[in-house]
Structure 1
Amino acid sequence: MRQRKVKNLDMLLAACDAWAVKDPKTHKGSWRKLFADPSLPLYVEIGSGKGRFICEMARLHPDVNFLAVEGGAKINVRILQKAKDWNLSNLLVIMEYIEDARDFFAEGELDGIYLNFSDPWPKARNAKRRLTHRNKLAAYEACAADGAVLQFKTDNDALFAFSLDEIRSRGLLIRWVTRDLHHSPYAARNVETEYELKFSAKGKSINCLQAVLKR
């Protein structure tokens, strides 16, 4: 989908520069040092969109450090603006797309990974590009600390079924699964994304799971 033009984009980005990480690979193994409190757990959302989820998570959980990952400047500027407006000291934005998590994060560096409404890449020939493909999962596992979790949400039933198969192929422990998140025991602590609000308003049930990346 073509991104809409953002007026005064460069000026907006400059105003939020304190929350932007433009050279992420140089911080591999030392991400915590960038935060006000390096002792806190570190969670990352890969594919943060306009940032509703990750900014709200950072606001609700000041005892956790968060990284948003979004490569498109016309989109990630929205995350940066929220982080600045809310003065979130526990959130930074990686201004690049991630192909292999191991390029950005060291072994055992992450305590949790969120994948929300990822591109389903519906054609079979593009299966390896899906963020829940077993190759991607192997990379997440390599970067995961003991007890680290993966949480995945999608409205796409086919992608969810594929993801369950891929997770099982890696032998990961699945803590819980729901095909209707908003009418499940996990709804109370759910933070909605922009896409989630849109799809649930149309009556579409939301799939969600949580798995342990490293035991």
Structure 2
Amino acid sequence: MRLRGRKGIRESLERQQDLVVLDPKEYRGRWKERFGNDHPIYVELGMGKGQFISGMSVKYPEVNFIGMDMYDELIRRGSEKARAAWEDQGVEQPPNLALALGNIEFIEEFFAPGELERIYLNFSDPWPKARHGRRRLTHPRFLEKYKQILNEKGEIHFKTDSQTLFEFSLNAFAAVGMQMSEISLNLHRDGLNDKHVMTEYESKFHAQGMNIHRIEVMVGEEAVRKYHERKMDAF
């Protein structure tokens, strides 16, 4: 992806230390200190323009959210959306949101073991060519990284419009022994669900009548245990 950013974008981001983190390595193991509380931390990897993570931070104030992307311009756009979303609530500075500039390839350098409770992967690059499979964010090599940084309640929530990527991801989750749940091949079949905050891509694809595939993956021991308890209670 090539993005044409505004002139002086880095300087603009440097002035937003209340929201933007340009070197997430500095907070490895200390993200709760940055937020100033013990609330769970949810991270969106590859946040795009920030519509999802901004909306989630407003909808769920009891959770700390981090949106991460590797492009300065997307962090800038995300900061604008975040501030606009919170200004609608009469709040100038988003209290439970940070936007971090970082390459997901090095995710274990940004978060300590067990520091996160949930990872969102929304409309990640499908890398359709087979030789690029290792770049997919649901490749087992990434899943092993996620397992390290998620805590005992840890989950991965994944959405995509790509059937090929979804099939690949199901196999990858199974290959590393992850428990899958809430599998949907058409998330909005019965209409939009208020529980789900949509991304920019999701809004666009839904308007075009495209199917959205979604899955929740239980990673942490407590998350897996509660999944099985719910399953047993259902019978």
Q: Please give the TM-score of this superposition, normalised by the length of structure 1.
A: 0.93
> Any unmatched runs of 5+ in structure 2?
87-92, 222-235
Q: Does 1:111 align with 2:117?
A: yes
Q: Distance in 1 between matches of 2:28 and 2:159?
A: 26
Q: Distance in 2 between matches of 1:51 and 1:208?
A: 19
Q: Which amino acid aligns with 1:23?
A: D
Identical-residue share of aligned pairs (%): 39
> Residue 168 of structure 2: SS of its match in structure 1?
helix
- 1:161-214: CA deviation from partner (whole Å, max 9, x where unpaired): 000000011111112100001125993311100011111111101000001111
| Match in the other structure for 1:31 | 31
| Match in the other structure for 2:201 | 195
Q: Which amino acid aligns with 1:41?
A: P
Q: Does 1:150 align with 2:150?
A: no
| Match in the other structure for 2:180 | 174
Deviation at 1:58, TM superposition (A): 0.2
Deviation at 1:10, TM superposition (A): 4.5
- 1:30-82: CA deviation from partner (whole Å, max 9, x where unpaired): 1111014x210001000000000000000000000011101111111011122
Whether the 8 Å contact between 1:115 and 1:152 is mirrored in structure 2 is: yes
Q: Which amino acid aligns with 1:133?
A: H
Indicate the larger mover: 61-70 or 73-82.
73-82
Structure 1 residues 10 and 139, CA, compared in 2 at 3 Å: closer, same or farther? Answer: closer
Aligned length: 214
- 1:107-152: CA deviation from partner (whole Å, max 9, x where unpaired): 1111000000000111111111100001100110111110211000
Q: Mapping of 1:1-215 within 5 angstroms?
A: 1-6=1-6, 9-10=9-10, 12-36=12-36, 38-85=37-84, 86=86, 87-183=93-189, 187-215=193-221
Q: Please give the TM-score of this superposition, normalised by the length of structure 2.
A: 0.86
Larger radius of gyration: 2
> Any unmatched runs of 5+ in structure 1?
none
Q: Distance in 1 between matches of 2:15 and 2:109?
A: 28
> Residue 18 of structure 1: SS of its match in structure 2?
coil
Q: Distance in 2 between matches of 1:108 and 1:12?
A: 32
> Residue 67 of structure 1: SS of its match in structure 2?
strand
